[in-house]
């Protein structure tokens, strides 16, 4: 009789959990929109573990603070606008240390009292996991008052897997956003480029036609800019273009769009703005630009002048090329008459 065969005992992941894992990874990789990804994370966390409240906080890199991006669960917890410093509260501790934190008895942990996500006196237990990717920790997920029988090593391990995949999805979304931003901005001025102007103007004209609202454009060409390059060199010329771009952002309204069209040409797009208002705004813009003293890195002080043509849809035209063409033609008419002025209809 041969050797007796023994049956190996295998630890298998339940099929339901594998399906959750498959679905969440598919959902996270099917979108590069950050808000969609964050909502997907919370939705799948809700399905996997029963709790009273879930919050997802993202790290604001500039201020080293966390802000509440998503919340779900019982009760109406006002979280919008609330921020938490890194190191503060449960989520702040998790982001600072990059480690998962389990608080089975909330009353014994002073970090719970610093929480905004739930009233401290209603918190019995907390699980907090870092959203840690290849490029660092991007935020944290908090699960308040999970069911006691779910606080197992298996549950925590599975949550780690979900959080790790979520962090990768967040990084991918941010990388895509950076690439998209690079394709629509001008390197020299950081303003939007001409390619993006055509996209935005097309959208604004379509909306203008649907709502019956005007949209105006100011086409600016800096006067005698070649003289700057000839007298001071192209490095100074490029620096001046960058400073002009920043000044245009300061002089225009929040709802306006600023573009570098090419060379020393700029465009300001003014949504929901008629021809009279556009002329007044463009005149004020030109005056502000011409009154600006640009202090260059080499210590020189430079000033600029510009010729400006203004066009308004639907009065002048209703097509992208038509509106740009009218504004461009009027800008050249200003140059022919001496420069440093604004011309409309």
Structure tokens given for 222: 């800096």
pLDDT of 342 > 90? The answer is: yes
Q: Where is the domain boundary, 136, 163, 183?
A: 183
Q: 152 with 210, same domain?
A: no
Structure tokens given for 18: 């594998």
Q: 271 with 236, same domain?
A: yes
Least confident of 47-51, 96-100, 269-273: 47-51
pLDDT of 183 > 70? The answer is: yes
Residue 10 falls within a domain, yes or no? no
- ∠ CA 286-289-294, nearest 5°, is 165
Taking the CA atoms of 226, 227, 228 and 232 in sequence, report the sign of the dihedral they define: positive
- Residues 120-128 have a mean pLDDT of 81
Q: 67 with 143, same domain?
A: yes
Q: How confident is the model at residue 176 (pLDDT cuts 50, 70, 90)?
A: confident
Residue 7 falls within a domain, yes or no? no
Q: 26 with 67, same domain?
A: yes
Higher pLDDT, 202 or 167: 202
User: Total domain count for the chain?
Assistant: 2
Residues 6+ apart with CB under 8 A from 86: 59, 64, 65, 66, 92, 95, 96
Least confident of 21-35, 243-257, 305-319: 21-35
Residue 8 falls within a domain, yes or no? no
At residue 29, the pLDDT reads 67
Q: 123 with 200, same domain?
A: no
Segments forming the whole domain that contains residue 31:
15-183
pLDDT of 100 > 80? The answer is: yes
Q: 202 with 145, same domain?
A: no
Q: Where is the domain boundary, 164, 183, 202?
A: 183
Higher pLDDT, 15 or 186: 186
Residue 2 falls within a domain, yes or no? no
Least confident of 1-15, 162-176, 203-217, 327-341: 1-15
At residue 63, the pLDDT reads 63
Residue 5 falls within a domain, yes or no? no
Least confident of 138-142, 240-244, 253-257, 263-267: 138-142
CA distance 254 to 310: 19
Q: 314 with 336, same domain?
A: yes
Q: 159 with 248, same domain?
A: no
CA distance 257 to 192: 8
Residue 68 falls within a domain, yes or no? yes
Residue 1 falls within a domain, yes or no? no
At residue 1, the pLDDT reads 44
Q: 77 with 121, same domain?
A: yes
Residues 6+ apart with CB under 8 A from 278: 216, 217, 218, 270, 310, 312, 344
- ∠ CA 48-50-56, nearest 5°, is 75
Q: Where is the domain boundary, 134, 155, 183?
A: 183
Q: What is the largest CA-CA distance in the chain?
A: 111
Q: With helix as H, strand as E and coil as C, how does the chain read?
A: CCCCCCCCCCCCCCHHHHHHHHHHHHHHHCCCCHHHHHHHHHHHHHHHCCCCEEEEEEEECCCCEEEEEEEEECCCCCCCCCEEECCCHHHHHHHHHCCCEEECCHHHCHHHHHCCCCCHHHCCCEEEEEEEECCEEEEEEEEECCCHHHCCHHHHHHHHHHHHHHHHHHHHHHHHHHHHHHHHECCCCCCEEHHHHHHHHHHHHHHHHHHCCCEEEEEEEECCHHHHHHHHCHHHHHHHHHHHHHHHHHHCCCCCEEEEEECCEEEEEEECCCHHHHHHHHHHHHHHHHCCCEECCCCCEECCCEEEEEEEECCCCCCHHHHHHHHHHHHHHHHHCCCCCEECC
272-330 pLDDT per residue, tens: 999 999 999 999 999 999 999 999 999 999 999 999 999 999 999 999 999 999 999 99
**Phi and psi of 338, rounded to 5°?**
125, -10
Structure tokens given for 316: 């002048």
Q: 37 with 77, same domain?
A: yes
Residue 225 falls within a domain, yes or no? yes
CA distance 131 to 255: 34
Q: How confident is the model at residue 9 (pLDDT cuts 50, 70, 90)?
A: very low
How many angstroms from the chain centroid is the CA of residue 202?
22
Q: 175 with 246, same domain?
A: no
At residue 6, the pLDDT reads 39
Residue 243 maps to which CATH number? Answer: 3.30.70.270
At residue 320, the pLDDT reads 95
**Phi and psi of 115, rounded to 5°?**
-75, 145
Residue 122 maps to which CATH number? Answer: 3.30.450.40
38-84 pLDDT per residue, tens: 787 777 777 778 888 888 888 887 768 898 888 887 655 566 668 88
Q: 240 with 125, same domain?
A: no
């Amino acid at each position: 009789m041969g050797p007796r065969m023994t049956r190996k005992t295998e630890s298998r992941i339940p099929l339901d959990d594998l399906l959750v894992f498959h679905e969440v990874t598919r959902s996270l990789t099917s979108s590069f929109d950050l808000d969609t990804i964050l909502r997907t994370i919370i939705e799948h966390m809700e399905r996997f573990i029963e709790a009273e409240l879930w919050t997802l906080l993202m790290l604001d890199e500039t201020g080293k603070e966390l802000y509440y991006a998503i919340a779900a669960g019982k009760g109406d917890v006002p979280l919008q606008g609330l921020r938490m410093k890194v190191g503060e509260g449960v989520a702040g501790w998790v982001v600072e240390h990059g480690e998962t934190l389990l608080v089975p008895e909330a009353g014994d942990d002073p970090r719970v009292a610093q929480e905004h996500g739930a009233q401290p006196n209603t918190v019995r237990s907390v699980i907090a996991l870092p959203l840690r990717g290849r490029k660092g920790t991007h935020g944290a997920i908090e699960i308040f008052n999970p069911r006691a029988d779910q606080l197992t090593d298996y549950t925590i391990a599975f949550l780690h897997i979900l959080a790790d995949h979520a962090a990768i999805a967040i990084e991918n979304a941010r990388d895509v956003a950076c690439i998209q931003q690079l394709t629509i901005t001008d390197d020299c001025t950081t303003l939007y480029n001409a390619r993006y102007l055509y996209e935005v103007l097309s959208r604004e004209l379509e909306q203008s036609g649907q709502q019956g609202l005007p949209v105006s454009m100011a086409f600016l060409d800096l006067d005698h800019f070649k003289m700057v390059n000839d007298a001071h060199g192209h490095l100074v010329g490029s620096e001046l273009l960058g400073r002009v771009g920043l000044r245009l952002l300061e002089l225009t309204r929040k709802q306006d769009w600023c573009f570098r069209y090419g060379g020393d040409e700029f465009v300001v797009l003014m949504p929901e703005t008629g021809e009279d208002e556009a002329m007044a705004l463009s005149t004020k813009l030109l005056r502000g630009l011409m009154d600006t003293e640009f202090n260059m890195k080499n210590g020189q002080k430079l000033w600029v002048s510009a010729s400006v043509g203004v066009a308004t849809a639907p009065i002048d035209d209703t097509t992208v090329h038509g509106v740009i063409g009218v504004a461009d033609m009027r800008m050249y008419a200003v140059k022919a008459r001496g420069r440093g002025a604004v011309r409309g209809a």
